[in-house]
Structure 1
Amino acid sequence: MNIQKLQQEIIEYSKQIGIDKIGFASTSPFDELKERLIRQQKLGYQSGFEESDIEKRTNPELLLPKAKSIIAIALAYPSKLKNAPRSTKTERRGIFCRASWGQDYHYVLRDRLKKLEAFILERVPEAKVKSMVDTGELSDRAVAERAGIGWSGKNCSIITPEYGSYVYLGEMITTVPFIPDTPLEDRCGTCNKCVDACPTGALIQGGQLDSNKCIAFLTQTKGFLADEYREKLGNRLYGCDTCQTICPENKGKDFHFHEEMEPDPEVVKPLLRPLLFISNREFKEKFGPISGSWRGKKPIQRNALIALAHYKDRTAIEDIKQVLKEDPRPVMRGTAAWALGKIGDTESREFLLLAREKEKDEEVLMEIDKGIQMLEGKKS
């Protein structure tokens, strides 16, 4: 088997099937990553969404016996929304982060990896392969970095010279011994813009993230959001792009290579008020195809209430009152009470006082009291 020839064929085929960048890496353990993950775990910086077994995350051979190499792929996604609807005083809108635009990227990348698998197995039938995207054990970024896809930026994203950090990553472990590519040189240098711009200080320093403070993580949680983060959320419904949009390497980068990744403006920049009462079925129909829907509607609805409070949207007061009065979920009632405090008036205070008499949930009662205190502060 001529490895060099096969490798070149794979590179050419990858372009035909819509893979924007491909690289090859060895399967030696990711020792440096292992140390970093142990440190992250000790500091309590992990989100809980990642694979908990550090050995599996850093040793490819545990995932595929006799593994000899890893193929890393990257697909560029759009950074600019065409025909973006305007957010007006009477029709406020929220926003989903760019990585959630278009069809769920897990499906898009799995499609490309499956085609790549078939291509390899046709030529090397005895080969073994194992592909993964995002939810797999391996760190997509560590693999992409080793395979020369890009360097690991201070914003904890892989930054490619061609597409900036607006890329989705996936990888395939294989028993075929491909020739490894050379990692790229880090180009962040002394630039610290992403660290300085992080709204919550989640980027502790270049390349180190406290996931529990990261807005991208916080928008996906299901409970009450800590007060200090509500103020920082703005109109974000899912994810956060600040550390990417501020990056000089992303300036002018906007790629529309893949039809599946084209966003529907009404889906990724939706009206906020209708979200408060959307049914499960409606939510699934409208938002189901995008990756930002994976946690269900509750976090999105809670974030919509916070966004309305951020805008101090008086036109939403009656809707927010209805949520407080009728929603069976404590997180929604409590967040609605807080939102009324942020944007309400004397009438809202009376409403909150009445709600307090009927409310049984302790956490909701605390939020109602917060709302009342805010309104009383405005009055004085």
Structure 2
Amino acid sequence: MNKYLANNSLWRYIPLLLILPLSGLAELASLYSIQALLPKLSEVYNIPLNQVGLILSAEVGFLAFAMLFSGSLSDRFGRKKIIVFSLLAGGILTLLCATTSSWHVLVFYRALLGIAVSGITAAVTVYITEEVSPALAGVVTGYFIFGNSLGSMSGRVLATLMMEHISVGSIFCFFSAVLLLMALLVFIFLPASKNFTASPSLNLTQMLKGGREHFTNIKISACFIIGFIIFGSFTSAFNFLAFHLHGKPYHLPYSLIALIPISFSLTFFAAPFSAKMAMRYGSMNTLSLLLIMMLCGALMTFISPTLPIFILGIICFSVAFFSSHSTLLTWVSSHAPHAKGQATAFYLLCYYAGGAIIGYLNGYVFASIGWNAVAISIMGLLVIGLLLSRYLHITERKETEVGIMDMS
């Protein structure tokens, strides 16, 4: 029997609990370091406020597009190979970013970076589903999402702190080294898949047919929409948070603004706790609660009379976001009837597309009206996500009741 299935003890998964979160950390740190650098890039390259977010949208937009293929590639060639290749290619492209002084070339390299690292999350999530016992898969996924949140945090914090002392090119070199080091560590220490069966070929027609089946499955496609909403909301908030807090009425220095993402580390407790809540009370009930927390956080930034309340709202919003993402990933992977890697990839396509599209469009909202309009936009989107989560809960409950009646 597979040693990972022989015992449900979490201790059996120590190699996974160390290596997989670190791979997510490296990926997200490199990707979202650019978000912290937006004010600096606007200044250095003389890019208008409503256009500088294009570089992040290029990253996540092409990452989303690549998700069409990354899940299928992992189904064909194996989870570990795709993770290692993605980290290695990401490190090389991040290094190339340090070699250019052209804004357009930099955007091009960052778009390629999005494509390169697209395989990591898709492959990791299905690796967990295949190699970890069902009772603990949600918990292990939660720790992987914690690694993602830590990467988002450290990328933003370190980039913000470093940009006051070293050049943007040197910052790119630093994050390139992180990705290359993680490629080596994953290659050496991540256990090979024991329960993976390779797809016979990369058939584009079959892939599109499978994608159509996932999109017509309401249990899966509704999560695609919620993922689009939550990441679009999160990206919108953090694209313009530094601009807002640095300006009137707060006038915070960037070095202090950089400390806010440290709150992402709370996901270490929140994501696994949410996984346990999902097992006890149901995934969609848990997701609904998390979306309400995101709504409350966004509302606090809208009505905030003081800076501490504003920051508390952002913290509540962020922690609930990462836990929501963890819950959705586990749901999609466990409810897909076939081609789980492909289903996860389509979820991530929609997820990152939300960051690219909503984040970019809210740039015009922020430039024209300001933070409060962005907060209203976010709250409106989250209400839609909340309604969808309740619909999924009702659908799941009805199917369960019908199943019980059929058995009786």
Common topology (TM > 0.5):
no
TM-score of the pair, normalised by structure 2: 0.28
The structure number with the bigger radius of gyration is 1
TM-score of the pair, normalised by structure 1: 0.30
Give the number of the structure with larger relative contact order, counting CA–CA contacts within 8 Å between residues 6 or more apart: 2
The structure with more strand, counted as a fraction of residues: 1
